[in-house]
Amino acid sequence: MPNPESFNSFSSSAETGGESAKINQARGQKANEAFIESGAGDSIFQGISREEFISKDVSKMSLEEQRRAYRELLEMKAKLEQEAAAPATPETPAPVAREVAAPAAETVSAETARATLNRTKENPQAKGWFSKKAIAIGLGVAILAGATGGYFIGHSTAPSPDNNQGVAEQVIGGDENFEKETIGIKDGYGEKGMWLSEKKTSQNAFTSAEEVAEVCDNDECEMMKYAADNQVESFADYLANLPEEEQPEGFKGLSILETEKKLESLSDEEYEAIQKQYNGTMDRAFTRRVTVNGEKNNAYMRHKGGDVVHENMELVKCTTNESNLEVTEFYWLDENGNEIGSMMVKMTPVYDENGNIVGFKGCMQVISDKDSPVYDGLDEIPDPEPGTGSESTGNEGTGSEGTGSEDTGSEGTGSEGTGSEGTGSEGTGSEGTDIKPKDSENLQRIDEKIDKEIEKDIGTKEIKHNPNPGVSEKEKTEKPSGSDYEGTKPKTVQNETSKPAEKVEPKKQENNYSEDKGGKNSSEYAPVKENKEAQKKADESETKVKDAPTSKQEVNDALSDLGID
Amino acid sequence: MDNYLIDRETLGKFVDELIKRKALPVNTPEELNNLREESIKSLDDKIGLAVFGSLTAEQNTEFNQLLDRGNVEESDFENFFNRIGLDVEQKITDAMNAFGAEFLGGQNA
């Protein structure tokens, strides 16, 4: 800042006496008068004398005065520099400041400075040193209270809106007033810096689905867990929009705002427990692509100002008008395979030329029906991107996989509402929904579509889609590997005292009725003796079958021949 | 690949803060990204020129000799700027403040 007193002083190099000194003095006085007459300093000194201004306690100035003063001082300085560069004429005497100030060593030209700068950029040690200097300053930002564009760095805390005094200290000089500490920004709100992502489509977005997808390797469920883990507002949005069956106890039926407040009230242990439960819910989720049209509700993030910390971030409601927006719908099934409910999130897959999912885009907010009560209590903001229809994927050739356009029959059935109850949404929400599990007419197309998606989605894991809904982790057992599995073995009983089997001798038959062994009643048991004669006679009299007697008389005659009455 | 005097990530954070505070004349993410990149480069330039534009010819020559040394360390730069009495942190601060003010449309707009 030029010293106002210098306007009335002599250059140290001026002669103290003689004609030159008188000329210099005259020039100085004339310069002062010219300056005053020009009114360059009028605004600064408006209403007060220069002496009064110099002596005035800057800290007691109003904020507006200080701003004005600082701006005008800068302008004055720039003007003086310009005039110093211009050739002096009798009509426009050179500023006294040039004459009176001791000549400083000339600095290098802009070209020379740039050349040195470029060389320095090639030196790693130099770059490292300069970077450390920049970080040491503290890259937090302090915004002037109430200012629309005022900006300063270096102060450790943002001034409160009512603290004009504190702000004034920042405005006017006073390097000593700047505390060189980093303002509490954690990489742009949340450890992973989600909110400050340069790839976000709008300032109000939770994050960039593209970046989250890169971290989570394009796994939708992991993306939802990641976003909730790094931004409590995202967590509240997701929890409040889950199907009630999947909401943790104590959070059922709450609005987004109520959910956020409740989360904030939890202890660390309780919070982690809720997170764990939520993560399990997301692990059990199935996913599908849904095309959305019409007015929908979203919860957006808004920065209220000041430091980018949780206290200065808030959720707001925004109604958007969607047109062919492809989103990801998460849905859950009960143990019988029936759909419990669903939740749509603005995460749109990005496909390569082969139809493989290679990423996602979107803001990762839940999108739901306009009349949903979960948005109660939130301030409302206008659509930051009105008329754009959000992220339509209609232009992407492979993007049409997820839309109703490929499914020629489903759009008609969808809009008519047949079988749409399975999607969990009705009215405009179901328009364009092309997969309706309960619509038997679409079953074939659903199967084909699922097969196609599995083929294309190289990274698809079965676990993500949970082929065993309703099966808890405890119940799951690990399938033995081929090398581990030994199959079943026959049971063997090993008796330590066993001996080789003894040879069993055949037992003698004690009773041989073919021998007459005598005995008390032996006469009653006539041994059967072989009688060849009788046998022969019987054989000869044997009647052939075809000659067998057929009448009673013939039978009697046959018996008589044998000597039998 | 662009080369920066200050660590690009550090510059990016600063620019991001500015972007948050001003409605920008951009319609697409690409435009926003381009604006961000240009702002980062511009900021880095301003800081560099603010520092090296403050050197005298003699000091500039000495600094270049420092760069030419094969075994220069960060402490050498610290010593150099301390010896010539140039407060580099202040220069960087001033440059960033000026950039911020210009970006947001005037220091006290």
DSSP code per residue over B58-79: HHHHHHHHHHH-TT--HHHHHH
**Predicted local distance difference test score (pLDDT) of residue B56:** 94
Is the confidence at residue B71, as pLDDT, over 60? yes
Give exposure, A227-241, as e/b (b: 16+ Cβ within 10 Å): bbbbbbbbbbbbbbb
Which chain B residues touch A184 with a CB distance below 8 Å? none
Q: Tokens for A155? A: 């102060």
**Predicted local distance difference test score (pLDDT) of residue A562:** 76
Amino acid at A357: I
**Predicted local distance difference test score (pLDDT) of residue A409:** 38
**Nearest-angstrom CA–CA distance, A489 and A492:** 9
**Predicted local distance difference test score (pLDDT) of residue A6:** 43
Nearest CA in chain A to B63: A116
Q: Which of A309, A348, A314, A303 is nearest to A329 (CA)?
A: A348
Asked if A141's CB is within 8 angstroms of B67's CB, the reply is no
Asked if B3's CB is within 8 angstroms of A122's CB, the reply is yes
Which chain A residues touch B93 with a CB distance below 8 Å? 137, 153-154, 178
**Predicted local distance difference test score (pLDDT) of residue A244:** 93
With helix as H, strand as E and coil as C, how does A140-203 read?
CEEECCCCCCCEEECCCCCCCCCCHHHHHHHHCCCHHHCCCCCCCCCCCCCCCCCCCCCCCCCC
Which H or E run contains A377? none
* CB-closest option in B5, B36, B60 to A130: B5
% helix, strand, coil for chain A, step of 5: 40, 10, 45
Is the confidence at residue A352, as pLDDT, over 50? yes
Is the confidence at residue B87, as pLDDT, over 80? yes
Distance in Å, alpha carbon of A276 to nearest chain B alpha carbon: 32
Q: How confident is the model at residue A412 (pLDDT cuts 50, 70, 90)?
A: very low
ipTM over 0.90: yes
Q: How confident is the model at residue A57 (pLDDT cuts 50, 70, 90)?
A: low
Which H or E run contains A417? none
Task: Quote the Cα angle for B66-A111-A75, to 5°.
Answer: 110
Q: What is the mean pLDDT of residues A161-167?
A: 38
Give chain A's length: 565
Higher pLDDT, A503 or A226: A226
Contact in structure between A562 and A534 (CB atoms under 8 Å): no
Asked if B13's CB is within 8 angstroms of A114's CB, the reply is no
* CB-closest option in A127, A150, A153 to B93: A153
Is the confidence at residue A375, as pLDDT, over 80? yes
Is the confidence at residue A454, as pLDDT, over 50? yes
Q: How confident is the model at residue A264 (pLDDT cuts 50, 70, 90)?
A: confident
Q: Tokens for A165? A: 């005094």
Asked if A148's CB is within 8 angstroms of B104's CB, the reply is yes
For A445-507, the DSSP string reads HHHHHHHHHHHH-TT--HHHH-SSTT--TTT--PPPPTTT-----------TT--PPPPPPPP
Judging by DSSP bridges, how do beta strands A313-333 and A379-381 pair with one another?
parallel
Q: Tokens for A54? A: 């110099």
**Predicted local distance difference test score (pLDDT) of residue A51:** 52
Contact in structure between B6 and B47 (CB atoms under 8 Å): yes
Judging by DSSP bridges, how do beta strands A366-369 and A339-345 pair with one another?
antiparallel
Q: Which of A77, A42, A46, A68 is nearest to A150 (CA)?
A: A68
Contact in structure between B84 and A47 (CB atoms under 8 Å): no
Cα-to-chain-centroid distance, residue A210 = 9
**Nearest-angstrom CA–CA distance, A137 and B14:** 12
Is the confidence at residue A367, as pLDDT, over 80? yes
Amino acid at A83: E
Burial class (CB within 10 angstroms; exposed 0-12, middle 13-18, buried 19+) of B10: buried
**Nearest-angstrom CA–CA distance, A84 and A3:** 16
Nearest CA in chain B to A66: B108
Asked if B89's CB is within 8 angstroms of A136's CB, the reply is yes
Lowest mean pLDDT among A29-38, A57-66, A362-371: A29-38
**Predicted local distance difference test score (pLDDT) of residue A166:** 37
Q: Mutate one of B36, B52, B103 to test the A interface: name it (highest A CB count within 10 A).
A: B52
Asked if A130's CB is within 8 angstroms of B101's CB, the reply is no
Higher pLDDT, B39 or A417: B39
**Nearest-angstrom CA–CA distance, B56 and A22:** 34
Which chain A residues touch B73 with a CB distance below 8 Å? 125
Is the confidence at residue B5, as pLDDT, over 50? yes
Asked if B97's CB is within 8 angstroms of A153's CB, the reply is yes
Report the range out of A447-461, A534-548, B44-58 with the highest average pLDDT.
B44-58
Q: How confident is the model at residue A120 (pLDDT cuts 50, 70, 90)?
A: very high
**Predicted local distance difference test score (pLDDT) of residue A553:** 78
Cα-to-chain-centroid distance, residue B26 = 24
Higher pLDDT, A448 or B59: B59
Q: Tokens for A264? A: 């904030």
Domain boundaries, chain A: 4-100, 209-465
Percent of chain A with pLDDT over 70: 45
Contacts of A107 (CB under 8 A, 6+ apart): A113, B53, B54, B55, B56
**How many A-B residue pairs are in contact by the CB < 8 A criterion?**
172
Q: How confident is the model at residue A202 (pLDDT cuts 50, 70, 90)?
A: confident
Give chain B's length: 109
Phi, psi of A4 (to 5 degrees): -55, -30
Contact in structure between A121 and A131 (CB atoms under 8 Å): no
Is the confidence at residue A507, as pLDDT, over 60? no
**Predicted local distance difference test score (pLDDT) of residue A468:** 47
Name the CA radius of gyration of chain B, rounded.
16
**Predicted local distance difference test score (pLDDT) of residue A420:** 36
Q: Which residues pair with A467 in a beta bridge?
A: none
Phi, psi of A293 (to 5 degrees): -135, 155
Domain boundaries, chain B: 8-103
Quickly count: other Cβ atoms within 10 Å of residue A553's Cβ: 9
**Predicted local distance difference test score (pLDDT) of residue A345:** 96
| pTM for this model (two decimals) | 0.37
Lowest mean pLDDT among A45-54, A245-254, A282-291: A45-54
* DSSP SS3 for A358: strand
Q: What is the mean pLDDT of residues B90-96?
A: 91
Which sign does the torsion angle of CA A44, A47, A53, A58 carry?
negative
* CB-closest option in A123, A128, A151 to B101: A151
Q: How confident is the model at residue A189 (pLDDT cuts 50, 70, 90)?
A: low
Amino acid at A180: K
What mean pLDDT value characterizes chain A? 66
Lowest mean pLDDT among A313-317, A397-401, A462-466, A501-505: A397-401
**Predicted local distance difference test score (pLDDT) of residue A200:** 80
Q: Tokens for A476? A: 């799951």
* CB-closest option in B10, B73, B105 to A134: B10
**Nearest-angstrom CA–CA distance, A50 and A430:** 74
**Predicted local distance difference test score (pLDDT) of residue B62:** 94
Asked if B89's CB is within 8 angstroms of A112's CB, the reply is no
Q: Tokens for A342? A: 């669903």
Q: Tokens for A543? A: 């009647």
End-to-end CA distance of chain B: 36
**Nearest-angstrom CA–CA distance, A472 and A379:** 40
**Predicted local distance difference test score (pLDDT) of residue A361:** 92
* CB-closest option in B3, B21, B90 to A175: B90
Lowest mean pLDDT among A64-78, A110-124, B83-97: A64-78
**Predicted local distance difference test score (pLDDT) of residue B51:** 95
**Predicted local distance difference test score (pLDDT) of residue A38:** 56
**Predicted local distance difference test score (pLDDT) of residue A258:** 93
Q: How confident is the model at residue A491 (pLDDT cuts 50, 70, 90)?
A: very low
Give exposure, A156-169, as e/b (b: 16+ Cβ within 10 Å): eebbeeeebebbbb
End-to-end CA distance of chain A: 164
**Predicted local distance difference test score (pLDDT) of residue A19:** 54
Which chain B residues touch A174 with a CB distance below 8 Å? none
Which chain A residues touch B63 with a CB distance below 8 Å? 116
Q: Mutate one of A81, A118, A129, A151 to test the B interface: name it (highest B CB count within 10 A).
A: A151
Q: Mutate one of A116, A143, A302 to test the B interface: name it (highest B CB count within 10 A).
A: A116
Burial class (CB within 10 angstroms; exposed 0-12, middle 13-18, buried 19+) of A26: exposed
The tally of CA atoms less than 13 A away on the side-chain side of residue A304 is 12
Higher pLDDT, A103 or A508: A103
* CB-closest option in B13, B22, B60 to A108: B60
Is the confidence at residue A360, as pLDDT, over 70? yes
* DSSP SS3 for A320: strand
* CB-closest option in B5, B20, B74 to A117: B5
